[in-house]
Amino acid sequence: MIVSKMNPGNALLERSETYLALKAEKAEIDRHKWFASEKAGRDIGFDRAKFEWIRHYKKDFLHKK
């Protein structure tokens, strides 16, 4: 379900712990994608970056919280 920006329910969604956790994870995956792409000399793609991040960094990310 897509929630429009005009929907007042967005404010509640954007404050939920689950939403904030997923948003933080995506930011970390994007950061990893940037570094890994720079190292590879090409764009590695989001799917590969997500797989690598989950495999190598998610455990530590979850323990920081």
Give tens-digit pLDDT for 15-59. Answer: 889 999 999 999 999 999 999 999 999 999 999 999 999 999 999
Neighbour count for residue 44 (Cβ, 10 Å): 19
- 29: buried, middle or exposed (CB in 10 Å: 19+, 13-18, 0-12)? buried
| pLDDT, greater one: 56 or 3 | 56
Six-digit token string for 64: 């920081």
Q: Running DSSP on this structure, what letter comes out for residue 7?
A: -
Confirm whether pTM is higher than 0.85.
Answer: no
For the chain, what are the domain ranges? 41-65
- 2: buried, middle or exposed (CB in 10 Å: 19+, 13-18, 0-12)? exposed
Using pLDDT thresholds of 50, 70 and 90, give the confidence band for residue 1.
very low
Above 80 in pLDDT, residue 62? yes
